[in-house]
Structure 1
């Protein structure tokens, strides 16, 4: 099986998807029509139907095929799940992190709720067994009309309320540059201003960070998914690579991060990522405390 030519077909309501056809320089992929998909490999996919009902939970099937059109049968865990599905509105004001269930035959089932009419992109993040990580950008439409991509204004200050907590992003402006490893540290405090030291592992990590670059047409190249550093100062990208080949190490990674959090400044979680190019980025940092997921969002310029 050629992993580089994986194709992801998204099926909604049990209707089969049809491979996209390119038409010269204006392919469905480049035009980002509803149903078109762009992945980190050379694969393409379509969505059928691409039209969804806003404000109503709907079941979807994600169908993964290889370059020969055959279902991909086996997947490896990535942070305790076979697939992560990040759904955003194209103006990046809506965010949801879902985990489709594998039902066999290359198919994943998930229920999504697009809150309002407009255009959306769902990033399917998965790992075929024995292959390399794949990300597919699936373009969806809810109701009528499109979601205008209004220029985002970088946040200042970088402190956000998340429930009864305050999450502050510490960012060294001098270290932010495309293609350079950038440290990102989040400080979490309770309502009394005290550092929160009782975070719980979420999906095998002490936190998750999704980063998406604002673009007129969102593609897989605009998407980043990072995890905290371990106690040895390594990024979770390296830890995840070990996990890809040794699934049983995932639990160990979570334990390492708990130990690291005890050595770091109280109430802080640190990430490192590489921004692929200049632009305006939206960040969603997720943590778990008392069994509840905490999400804080930010806008920054690179």
Structure 2
């Protein structure tokens, strides 16, 4: 699988609100043969290889000399711009990136209690400033997390910082336990079928059904069958996993398997995005991750 690099200074901006959002096929590239994801080969095999493990977990604004700076968020009362710059180890704005899942940079704007989540694809300006439109909808402590691969690098870099959006707010507890292993938007339901494990070659499975409990047919989103990101509930550390193989349609639902590289046990709040009948759905579940068994 080839890796496409780009020095483009503009990428399509996409704002994904919680719940159901209409999307068109224009979000997808005409040819996704160069995508960098862990996905099945065209014949349905599993010969594709993933990108390297991420460096950083979004809890720091500086990793290996790369730095997120000039970060700003809009207020809670209206749609506005989230903006920031990425500086390279020399201190200059980073302008060249390698695509991952069809985008030069993935941006996650997440309320610190993990109750609100936005996945954005901002636009890069000539001075290195990334911007995207976002509607936060509530005040509070918001985390801004950027995931990207500098051109020539083999591992994604994940940087993040936290800003306070003025206004009164009360954090909510992150859902945990068996009930939190299922998430629904009223149209699509996701249920954790196999929890995660600490280790470099783990598997996590989710079952998807419609409102009647029937399997769903998944369209393509960002060059693959699903996009799954999450945060450790205790540390708020960021994780990004990739689909492993094609979706499996079973009697009780459509099953997605993800390759994982969890490094710490505990609960993780996961945000799944899938396309069904041309519409993008966002679902949240909490997955327990167990310690690696001693051999």
Q: TM-score, normalised by structure 1?
A: 0.67
Q: How far, CA to CA, are the matches of 2:186 and 2:174 in structure 1?
A: 27
Q: Paired residue for 1:136?
A: 159
1:228-263 Cα distance to aligned partner (Å, 9 max, x none): 113xxxxxxxxxxxxxxxxxxxxxxxxxxxxx33x6
- Say yes or no: does 1:297 pair with 2:284: yes
Query: Any conservation in 1 of the 2:64–2:89 contact (CA below 8 Å)?
Result: no
Structure 2 matches for 1:184-199, cutoff 5 A? 184-196=204-216, 198-199=217-218
Q: How far, CA to CA, are the matches of 1:276 and 1:213 in structure 2?
A: 10
Structure 2 matches for 1:33-48, cutoff 5 A? 37-47=60-70
Shift of 1:60: 3.0
Q: How far, CA to CA, are the matches of 1:137 and 1:275 in structure 2?
A: 19
Alignment CA distance shift 1:51-1:159 (3 Å): closer
Query: Any conservation in 2 of the 1:39–1:134 contact (CA below 8 Å)?
Result: no
Query: Any conservation in 2 of the 1:119–1:146 contact (CA below 8 Å)?
Result: no
**Higher RCO, Cα 8 Å, sep 6+:** 2
Root-mean-square deviation (CA), in Å?
2.6
Match for 1:68 among 64, 85, 90?
90
1:263-292 Cα distance to aligned partner (Å, 9 max, x none): 664622211212221232101111101221
Q: How far, CA to CA, are the matches of 1:285 and 1:293 in structure 2?
A: 10
Alignment CA distance shift 1:148-1:195 (3 Å): closer
- Say yes or no: does 1:159 pair with 2:178: no
Once the two structures are overlaid, the 10-residue window that deviates more, 161-170 or 37-46, is 37-46
Q: How far, CA to CA, are the matches of 1:121 and 1:67 in structure 2?
A: 23
Match for 2:239 among 224, 227, 232?
224
Shift of 1:135: 0.8
- Say yes or no: does 1:208 pair with 2:227: yes
Shift of 1:153: 2.4
Question: Partner of 1:124: helix, strand, or coil?
Answer: strand
Q: Paired residue for 1:29?
A: none
Structure 2 matches for 1:220-299, cutoff 5 A? 222-230=237-245, 260-261=246-247, 265=250, 267-299=254-286
Alignment CA distance shift 1:109-1:157 (3 Å): closer
Shift of 1:119: 0.2
Query: Any conservation in 1 of the 2:110–2:117 contact (CA below 8 Å)?
Result: yes
1:166-206 Cα distance to aligned partner (Å, 9 max, x none): 2222025xxx443364322222222332211x210101010
Alignment CA distance shift 1:152-1:289 (3 Å): closer
Which structure features the higher share of helix residues? Answer: 1
Q: TM-score, normalised by structure 2?
A: 0.69
Match for 1:104 among 118, 126, 130?
126
Alignment CA distance shift 1:280-1:47 (3 Å): farther
Query: Any conservation in 2 of the 1:121–1:138 contact (CA below 8 Å)?
Result: yes
Query: Any conservation in 2 of the 1:37–1:139 contact (CA below 8 Å)?
Result: no
Alignment CA distance shift 1:73-1:145 (3 Å): same
Q: How many residue pairs are counted as aligned between the two chains?
A: 229
Q: How far, CA to CA, are the matches of 2:97 and 2:73 in structure 1?
A: 28
1:30-56 Cα distance to aligned partner (Å, 9 max, x none): xx9xxx9534434444445x5741132
Query: Any conservation in 1 of the 2:69–2:87 contact (CA below 8 Å)?
Result: no
Tell me, which stretches of 5 or more residues in structure 2 are unaligned? Answer: 1-57, 290-295
